[in-house]
A = this chain, B = another copy of it.
Amino acid sequence: MTREADIGPRLSRRLAYLLKRALIDLEDLHREHLDPLGINGRELSVLLLLQAREPESQQQTAERLQVDRTTMVALLDGLEAKGLVAREADPADRRRNVVALTDAGRRTLEKAVRASDKAERRLLRALDESERTQLRALLARVAADEHESP
């Protein structure tokens, strides 16, 4: 494993390095914990988004997740094949697909959130509860600020 001494203090303290390490480790943990549910982290984020905003068109979903609409097609193809979401032509505008969670999608979502909680706790096990809250709060403020005035 890479230890701080191996790469030097200047690199190991750069924010981009620290964020990337944390994200890669968290993605590995998500792979591990979500695998039994048959979905990945990306798909979990789509399910979470749909739960908050359904029913919604594919394009709106893509924009909110900041992915290309062609990427969303493939993502929804996968989720639909697993029976977790359903596409239906919008009666009011037959060009649009209305996307919604299925019952199975809702059940998988709740299990997946618990699995993701586990992955997060595992990543942050070196921190106590108040420090975990603090980290999340600091990151949330950074994200909120970026949204405000780019």
Contacts and interface: CB of A to CB of B under 8 A. Distances in A.
| Copies held by the complex | 2
B7 A65 contact: yes
Interface stretch (A23-31, A72-80, A82-90, A92-100): A23-31
B143 A138 contact: no
A52 B10 contact: yes
Interface of A: 1-4, 6-23, 25-27, 30, 41, 45, 48-49, 51-53, 64-66, 113, 116, 120, 123-127, 131, 134-136, 138-148, 150
Given A14-B48, A19-B26, 8 more contacts: A2-B66, A7-B53, A8-B51, A16-B23, A16-B45, A18-B143, A131-B138, A135-B142
